[in-house]
Chain A
Amino acid sequence: MPRKAKRTSATTTDEPKIRADALRPTLDLARQIYGQLSLGEIPRMRLPLRTKQNIAFQMREGVWRLGKTMGTRSARKLDGALMLLRTFYLVDFINEMARDNKTSTLRELYYISEGWQEGKFHSEDESNLLVEDLEVLCERLREDFRLHPEENGASVIGDLTIRERNRKGLVKKINCRDDVGDGGYALPSNVEKEKIEFVSSGAKFIVAIECGGMVDRLAENGFDERHRALLIHLKGQPARSTRRFLKRLNEELHLPVVVFTDGDPWSFRIFASVAYGAIKTAHISQYLATPSAEFLGVTASDIENYELPSDRLTDQDVRALQAELTDPRFSTADWRSEIDLMLKNGKKAEQQSLAKYGLNYVTDHYLPEKLTEMGVL
């Protein structure tokens, strides 16, 4: 019976193994503030500043990291007092969720705060920021706090077998080529070990792709099977979970990552956030960034070499490129000459412009050529 057969492929296990000590630091914070109050001190905590001045690109690790300048959040000021109060409403809330074995989206958290009186958030930005503060203070990820963004369904196609523990606590083994439909395997918002385990993979490398149309093209042309590639759809600027997933694949399965995007300044930034991290998540770059990731294209030279149909750079594009010239993530000689070239030619092109030479051109010519050049194939 098919029903039964399905049953056997999943195994029921005990309670999910959230890291046992995940919430201990949150209670340490409460203890710290309680101690200050008992001693008659004005409650306060110290956090590394997340200002631009205090975020530095670590050349050695190749990622963005928070610097050493600390700021104080103190109840002496109204804003500080309010943030402290919210912090403990939040701590209380996530400890409660742990007891009840629940998770919550960031958006739900924002609405939960309706019941926090003075502590109520005025915007989702405020609640997201406080969660990030708590990540920094506790040296934990928001997944540890059972908080996650809404699913954004970034997808994976290729020969990768994983075990996912679904929300009902059932563990399912899934092969991302054979057990999924055309849409591929949709990443959940939590991709940590307790949720997803890697079982095996026949892939030799990963192609992270900006646009869905290009993912479909590669899958339809059988590129993943022919070249033993794992295709990951970035969906524009990749979400934290997507970057975390790439990072785990790269680290745990030793798969090289290449990034294939449009050829414009914004796509360069997509690559940079995959490889080196982003300013906003500088406090957790070590979990998110894949410094060994390489940019495949479309490069400024590709636009010339392949004579791709192109658009003119807008003023905004030019400003973005110029900003990139001062961005330490793009400080290598290769990147500089790419950016200079794009500025000089004043042209940008989309991934899908490769279709100029037919639907098979990208898989039969462009990618093999580029990958060979990069030493991946």
Chain B
Amino acid sequence: MAPARTIAEQLASKQREISVAEFFERNRQILGFDNPQRALLTTVKEAVDNSLDAAEEAGVLPELMVEIAKEADSPDRLRVAVTDNGPGILRREVPNVFARLLYGSRFHSNRQARGQQGIGISAAVLYAALTTARPARITTKVEEEDAAHVLELLIDTQKNAPRVIREDVQIWDRPHGTRIELALKAKYIRGRQSPLEYLRGTAIVNPHARIVLVEPDGTRVTFERAASEMPRIPKETPPHPYGLELGELGYFLKASKRPTVLELLTRDFEGVSPRAAKDVLARAGLSPGATPGSIQGPTQEALLEALHSVPLVAPSSECLSPIGPMLIKRGLRNVLGDVRPEFFAPPVSRPPKVRGGFPFLVEVGLVYGGGLPADQPMQLLRFANRVPLLFQQGACAITAAASNLDWRRYGLEQKGGNGLPVGPVLVLVHVASTKIPFTSEAKEALAEDPDLDKELTLAFQAAARHLKVHISRRSRRSFAQEKFEIIQKILPRLAEKTSHLVDQPIPDLTPVITRIMDVVSLELQLTNEEGPRRAVLEVTNYTSRPRVLEIFLEAPTEILGASAFAPVPEGTDVGMGRAWWTLPKLGPNERAQIVLTFSKGTDVEASDLDWYVAGVDEAHLLGADPLPGDWDVRLPRALIEAAETAAPTDPDSAEGEVDYDAAESEAHVGDDDG
């Protein structure tokens, strides 16, 4: 029997550092390279995310080209090239950026970015080298230099260090940018979890980017830019004490060069005002003048506890870059154009909250109807820091929050009130944070967390409330369509037929029409023929009494600013996005028009124009809402009138009578042949 010491020594001799690169070589799936389809998507994704991050940081509107091509003699290989118009990378940084794992500019930065680990692109380079033994080829040019550097790189997996295989300088016909080319074992697919789907999602939440994809068969797909404003560049902000942990606090205290703890708290943390700092210190039993280095052990704990119990200013959203309601809508519309959804709910952008010291916020966009499949579960488009999440939907906190909401209350079908609801609905969810709580390094799903869940739920509810209103309006509209059919098609014929049978002149149908309809109806038509784009609003008084109606329009400022009106509005407030008219008195069955003519290039949809009416109560109004109370417009006449007319009762109401044609007839039950 060998002495114990020898065994320990034997073991010790086997101990050695495991290179990170080596580790990942053996655990590809963690990074999303487990099969050839997946590897292709991950490669595209890592390169595209980096390009978007880089362009945004440099303040340029991203312009991306993703080319995927077959490799001539090896059918299971593809060449991927991603070219951007970002700032380029300094020559000396290139080897480490692309061929050294855990090297990046974002890990320590406290602001929102797509990349956060410093692994992404190097992992792709590593995978490519492992499967094809071919180096990555990088072309990059910064504005200050005249030529581009071209480098071919491999990773030394033992040392986790770059190896430059070849190097060159080359003229490149662009001011700045980066191109990465890789040959890898990969398989191109379309449909779910494909590069195309990934880029489509990317285009939705990055409407400021223009992205071109060239598929292996030569097909070119272009996602045009839908917005020319750059997203706000998130500011680096100091950490917020909410969610700070003891170790981190200790690190701050030890490293701080501030003379006093008071100064440290107010300058190096976010949200701590001088007064709050004093409260915190008093509660922790510390003197404001204490030096940070002197605070140790139990006092550190007391300080942390005080920081978590004194109310502080909420974290600012400056380190976050939300997409914003307007661009969410535009991005969805741009990419879902062929689906022609009938309803875009006003997108929800929640205020920022903190989770574990890191600010985050939730945004939700909801689209309903049109070409979306009505018999399928809700489509959930998940995004984290503007990056589409295509995998692990079932394991994601976003899915969990959507499944736990009772969508039945908002007009959708949902078995048992949980799980994803069924219906023609698509929901976009964007979580922005300086640190996204992913479940794994592959960045596929968000980890569940009570604070995140709460925000997601609130955002879903806000969007779903709009959906509910839409669904109920829609059923009202189809009810109205029936009535239009009655008065426009059937009633005139019925009058004609009966008049003919009794040999009498056709009577005036106005009173019957107004009785059947009993609404003031607003119908909007957007014309798109050549010439300027116009919106024509037709207002018809299908009620039995004359009415003076006031019509109010609310629309985005840029649309109102670009419109000419006929007739001239009684008043406008372009700043508030409002215009209003008093129509001439409309007798029963009489109508009037308001015409908006937009100057060239104005982007208008019917859903941009919100119409409100005063002079008739809600029950008798179709195609618009009653004027909400928060409009500070004087309306003496109209409002008085509306009050008077509330709920006129129809003497001929069918209430309490059995509808013969709705009653279940025994026609088919009978036991004779007729």
Interface residues, chain A, CB within 8 Å of chain B? Answer: 27, 30-31, 33-34, 37-38, 40-43, 46-47, 49-52, 55, 69-85, 88-89, 91-92, 95, 106, 117-119, 125, 128-129, 132, 149, 152, 237-240, 243, 269, 272-273, 278-281
| Contact between B654 and A74, CB atoms less than 8 A apart | yes
Known: A37-B498, A81-B490, A280-B674. A55 touches B666 (CB 8 A): yes
| Contact between A30 and B672, CB atoms less than 8 A apart | no
Known: A49-B660, A73-B660. A128 touches B494 (CB 8 A): no
Residues 639-674 of B, flagged 1 when their CB comes within 8 A of A and 0 if not, give 000000000000010100111111111111111111
A-B contact pairs, 14 of them (CB 8 A): A34-B499, A40-B515, A41-B512, A71-B657, A74-B659, A75-B486, A77-B482, A77-B661, A78-B485, A84-B494, A118-B493, A125-B667, A240-B672, A280-B670
- Which listed residue, B486, B489, B674, touches A106 by the CB 8 Å rule? B674
| Contact between A80 and B512, CB atoms less than 8 A apart | no
Segment from B81-89, B106-114, B342-350, B501-509 that makes contact with A: B501-509
| Contact between A40 and B672, CB atoms less than 8 A apart | no
Residue in chain B with minimal CB distance to A52:
B666
Interface residues, chain B, CB within 8 Å of chain A? Answer: 482-483, 485-486, 489-491, 493-495, 497-502, 504, 507, 509-512, 515-516, 652, 654, 657-674
The 10 closest A-B pairs by CB, nearest first: A280-B670, A40-B511, A71-B660, A30-B501, A88-B497, A79-B661, A71-B658, A38-B507, A78-B482, A278-B672
- Which listed residue, A50, A118, A119, touches B667 by the CB 8 Å rule? A50
Q: How far is the CB of A291 from chain B (nearest CB, A)?
A: 16
Chain B residues with CB below 8 A from A33, complex form: 494, 498
| Contact between B498 and A34, CB atoms less than 8 A apart | yes
| Contact between B490 and A72, CB atoms less than 8 A apart | no
| Contact between A42 and B516, CB atoms less than 8 A apart | yes
A339-B516 Cα distance, complex, nearest whole Å: 53
| Contact between B664 and A51, CB atoms less than 8 A apart | yes
Chain A residues with CB below 8 A from B485, complex form: 78
| Contact between B501 and A27, CB atoms less than 8 A apart | yes
Chain B residues with CB below 8 A from A129, complex form: 665, 667
Chain B residues with CB below 8 A from A52, complex form: 664, 666, 669
- Which listed residue, B489, B501, B509, B674, touches A37 by the CB 8 Å rule? B509
Known: A37-B507, A273-B672, A279-B670. A80 touches B493 (CB 8 A): no
Chain A residues with CB below 8 A from B516, complex form: 42, 75-76
- Which listed residue, A30, A41, A125, A278, touches B515 by the CB 8 Å rule? A41
| Contact between A76 and B654, CB atoms less than 8 A apart | yes
Chain A residues with CB below 8 A from B500, complex form: 92
Residue in chain A with minimal CB distance to B496:
A88
Given A43-B494, A118-B493, A279-B669, 19 further pairs, Cβ under 8 A = A27-B502, A33-B498, A34-B504, A37-B509, A49-B660, A50-B665, A71-B659, A71-B663, A73-B660, A73-B661, A77-B482, A81-B494, A83-B661, A84-B490, A88-B498, A125-B668, A129-B665, A239-B673, A281-B672
Pick the most buried of B486, B489, B498, B507: most chain A CB atoms within 10 A of its CB. Answer: B498
Chain B residues with CB below 8 A from A74, complex form: 654, 659
Chain B residues with CB below 8 A from A76, complex form: 486, 516, 654
A281-B670 Cα distance, complex, nearest whole Å: 8
Chain A residues with CB below 8 A from B499, complex form: 34
| Contact between A279 and B666, CB atoms less than 8 A apart | yes
| Contact between B490 and A149, CB atoms less than 8 A apart | no
Q: How far is the CB of A35 from chain B (nearest CB, A)?
A: 9
Chain A residues with CB below 8 A from B672, complex form: 237-240, 243, 273, 278, 280-281
A33-B509 Cα distance, complex, nearest whole Å: 13
| Contact between A75 and B490, CB atoms less than 8 A apart | yes
Q: How far is the CB of B380 from chain A (nearest CB, A)?
A: 38
| Contact between B486 and A273, CB atoms less than 8 A apart | no
Q: How far is the CB of B515 from chain A (nearest CB, A)?
A: 5
A162-B338 Cα distance, complex, nearest whole Å: 73
Residue in chain B with minimal CB distance to A83:
B661
| Contact between A72 and B494, CB atoms less than 8 A apart | no
Q: How far is the CB of B15 from chain A (nearest CB, A)?
A: 78
A50-B669 Cα distance, complex, nearest whole Å: 11
- Which listed residue, B652, B654, B660, B671, touches A278 by the CB 8 Å rule? B671
| Contact between A34 and B507, CB atoms less than 8 A apart | yes
| Contact between B501 and A92, CB atoms less than 8 A apart | yes
Q: How far is the CB of B443 from chain A (nearest CB, A)?
A: 54
| Contact between A72 and B667, CB atoms less than 8 A apart | no
Known: A38-B507, A117-B493, A118-B489. A80 touches B670 (CB 8 A): no
| Contact between A70 and B670, CB atoms less than 8 A apart | no
- Which listed residue, B501, B510, B661, B669, touches A80 by the CB 8 Å rule? B661
- Which listed residue, B498, B502, B652, B670, touches A42 by the CB 8 Å rule? B652
A316-B268 Cα distance, complex, nearest whole Å: 85
A42-B657 Cα distance, complex, nearest whole Å: 14
Q: How far is the CB of B655 from chain A (nearest CB, A)?
A: 11
A126-B2 Cα distance, complex, nearest whole Å: 100
- Which listed residue, B486, B657, B665, B669, touches A81 by the CB 8 Å rule? B486
| Contact between B657 and A72, CB atoms less than 8 A apart | yes
Q: How far is the CB of A12 from chain B (nearest CB, A)?
A: 33
| Contact between B660 and A47, CB atoms less than 8 A apart | yes
A85-B487 Cα distance, complex, nearest whole Å: 12
